[in-house]
Chain A
Amino acid sequence: MNVTINWKKQKQNYLIEKNNKENLDHTADIQLHSWGDTLLEAFEQVCIAMFGYMYELEDVQLLKHHTVEVSGHDMSSLLFNFLNEFLGLHFEEDYFIFKDVEIILFDPKGFSLKAIGYGEKFDRDKHGTGTEVKAITYSAMQIKEEKTKCEVWVVVDI
């Protein structure tokens, strides 16, 4: 199958560790913080941030894609399931690294979304590595939705 990849110019709208005045540190783990003009963008970015913590994304090429569909019963469970699905897929597909994620359908009222992740399988000779993210948590999860800027914070277990 011919994979056509519609790759938008990647924005780096995320911070892997945010250590501001509030001290968002966790004694065991790290927090991902991302933002965007829309919630959709913030969601995409936080997912990329997660893979950015695990691998050096510069070396990753966009060779293949995977589609996921997730739903939740509120916004935070949707975010949790969305990240969990991509992380699970990463392990299931022999360490497939998602360099870019695009949400193509987003239903904020029904709490469901459909997303495509682009990237390639991990190759130890080719890709630089960081620290493995083992699980997503609800701990201190925040979703801030405003008209001009949307932000999300997620703590992941490493």
Chain B
Amino acid sequence: MVMFDTVHLKAIDKRETFSGCICCQLLFSLSGKRKLNEALLTFAHFSHIEHSIKKKKQRTMSLGQNRSFSEEARYIKNGPKEFPNLKIIDKGFVPGMRVVGKFYADDQLEKLCMDELQEFSNRNQFGGFLPAVKQIANVAGLPGIVKHSIAMPDVHAGYGFAIGNVAAFDMENPESVVSPGGVGFDINCGVRLLRTNLDYKDVRDIQESVAQALFNHIPVGVGSKGIIPTTPKDLHQALEMGIDWSIRQGYAWAEDKEHCEEYGRMLNADATKVSQRAQKRGLPQMGTLGAGNHYMEVQRVEKIFDKSAAKKMGIDRVNQICVMIHSGSRGLGHQVATDALVKMEKAMARDKIHTNDKQLACARINSEEGKEYLDAMAAAANYAWVNRSSMTFLARFEKKIKDKKRFLCMYTYFLIRKQNIILQAFQKIFKQDADDLDMHVVYDVSHNIAKVEQHMVDGKLMKLLVHRKGSTRAFPPHHPLIPVDYQVIGQPVLIGGTMGTSSFVLTGTEKGMRDTFGSTCHGAGRAMSRNKSRKTLDYKDVLNDLKKQGISIRVASPKLVMEEAPESYKDVTSVVDVCHTAGISKKCIQLKPIAVIKVDNLFIILLLLASSSATKMEK
């Protein structure tokens, strides 16, 4: 019967009976012949084939494979009325779901998710990638998961976990797991916002010439090795101390710490758990921006939705200038994640943990691998805070630094030597000291991290390990873990836009605390693969579209323009609006870029700036 598909079919072709088949054996025992009359054999087999096909179908149905798109779509329902924009993925969508899956989306964003699912259903189960909704459901099957596996409106397919997925695991349950896939490769990738007291009019007149000067001076396609300013010993300390190391070395202001998630330092960090290879990758990259969607942006305030909250953040008028930094833990974080994946794969076989997706490697929180990963992850997170602090230092253009040597080091280690031209440019723009400019950190959030937090689940206080991958923590007002300055307004949430689109500052809400473990979206989220962007978008069209918006662009790498074009991403405004209507976070400030500094991986710089003509147009 098992052989039915191949061997048996061959037997049928030869008009022979097959010993593995009940019908054949029956006929054989009746007639005593191995070769049979065609009509007789066909009849017997016909009923048999029908029967086994039915059986096979039932079996695959229960495994959640081979379903048609309409069958799949039946599992995805709208949430109850009091939860607008919430979609529910019922149990049974994939095998072994312990809790339901949920995601937030409006009609348009839902369509993107469903299209992805349809594409998946249309091809056979071999090959291809899992759509985000499947990934959300797979996560719902992990041991120890609490309440639901929930995704933000900017969700898109990732490795194991979808990007935008939040999942919490009960710390008291010995079965519970930690998954590097639930954090992502770029550990503690996050956004930091600096405010200034400058006004757009102070910058407008010179920005065009500065941008041109920058572009002329910056060499295209230069190499990747930075001068290594830090010793391995420094790195070791930075990994354990996080932002405290930056403060000690004079790269950060003491008050920066107060305005960072986790106060810029995870205490359980253990640098000895970070492999030599990871440290080696991290050493030359400290204080670098990184590629892909990472950027440093000079922005102006476009709209203020919540005046009192904005005022608490030191932003009190439209056209105030801010600086946004979006960066992570670079190669070090990637290596930590990879190392953990390799180790956990072995541990999974030992502990008999079964998952639906191989990339969804995980380990029990209390196992050696689990603990080791959490400690190494914390160290990588600290590295990212040091990294963002170093770039803040550069943006501030600190002159008062005592140690001249160190200052020079900081200079050189911002990506490449010649990039200090950027700094001079900033200095030209700002012409003042960072202190006079009131360049304080508004907040620093992390959107790729796992943390132990306390949450109320069904009226019970529980200690949970919350994984946020492509999702930002958004704690409500009066939460003990948010800074004193923001106790009344709730935690600021920074949402980075994409090339040329707006960025947002949101605040956390009580509802978000209840519904999403205090989490909200993190950015726009890709709608198109890099490859597809490159193939479907025309370089000139993208530039023309940007031009229409009044954004002129200087490009070193057309590839990057297409990959990071606004069309490749979901609309950040609708993502933020969905979160706002769902009540999981509140809109506070909208920012518009006036200059973007983006670096291709091997350090090709792309600079984008809103030309002054744009403002004229708006007026």
Contact = CB atoms under 8 A, between A and B. Distances in A.
Contact of B346 (A73, A80, A130): A73
**Most chain A CB neighbours (cut-off 10 Å) among B225, B276, B357:** B225
A30 B358 CA distance: 18
A80 B339 CA distance: 12
A46 B557 CA distance: 26
Contacts of B128: 22-24, 140
Contact of B338 (A29, A84, A127, A129): A84
A92 B602 contact: no
Contacts of A24: 127-129
Nearest to B116: A27
A94 B280 CA distance: 9
A76 B358 contact: yes
Contact of A125 (B163, B223, B281, B342): B223
Contacts of B331: 91, 134
Interface SS of chain B: loop
**Most chain B CB neighbours (cut-off 10 Å) among A76, A77, A124:** A124
A61 interface: no
A66 interface: no
Contacts of B600: 131
B331 to A, nearest CB: 6
A138 interface: yes
B221 A129 contact: yes
Contacts of B225: 94-95, 122, 124
Contacts of B532: 19, 25
A110 to B, nearest CB: 16
B345 interface: yes
B334 A27 contact: no
Given A142-B127, A157-B159, A30 B531 contact: yes
A17 B277 CA distance: 28
B156 interface: yes
A44 B436 CA distance: 58
A126 to B, nearest CB: 9
B71 interface: no
A140 B128 CA distance: 6
A84 B342 contact: yes
A153 B128 CA distance: 10
B391 interface: no
A17 B529 CA distance: 12
Nearest to A141: B358
Contacts of B20: none
B475 interface: no
Interface residue range, chain A: 35 or more
A76 B528 CA distance: 28
A24 B126 CA distance: 11
A24 B129 CA distance: 7
A88 B224 contact: no
B476 to A, nearest CB: 31
A63 interface: no
A138 B342 CA distance: 10
Interface in A133-158: 134-142, 153, 155, 157-158
B362 to A, nearest CB: 13
A26 B532 CA distance: 9
A52 B130 CA distance: 26
B404 interface: no
A28 B341 CA distance: 19
A19 B531 contact: yes
Contacts of B292: 158
A156 to B, nearest CB: 11
B127 A124 contact: no
Contacts of A91: 277, 280-281, 331, 335
A137 B129 CA distance: 12
Given A19-B535, A91-B280, A26 B157 contact: yes
B281 A135 contact: no
A157 B542 CA distance: 25
A124 B280 contact: no
Nearest to A121: B225
21 contacts: A17-B531, A22-B123, A24-B128, A24-B129, A25-B129, A28-B530, A30-B530, A77-B345, A95-B224, A124-B224, A128-B221, A131-B601, A134-B185, A135-B337, A135-B338, A139-B129, A140-B129, A141-B358, A142-B126, A157-B159, A157-B334
Interface of A: 17, 19, 22-30, 54, 73, 76-77, 80-81, 84, 88, 91-92, 94-95, 122-125, 127-132, 134-142, 153, 155, 157-158
When A and B form their complex, which 8 residue pairs have the shortest distance between CB atoms, in order from nearest? Answer: A124-B223, A129-B602, A132-B601, A25-B529, A138-B358, A134-B334, A138-B359, A91-B281
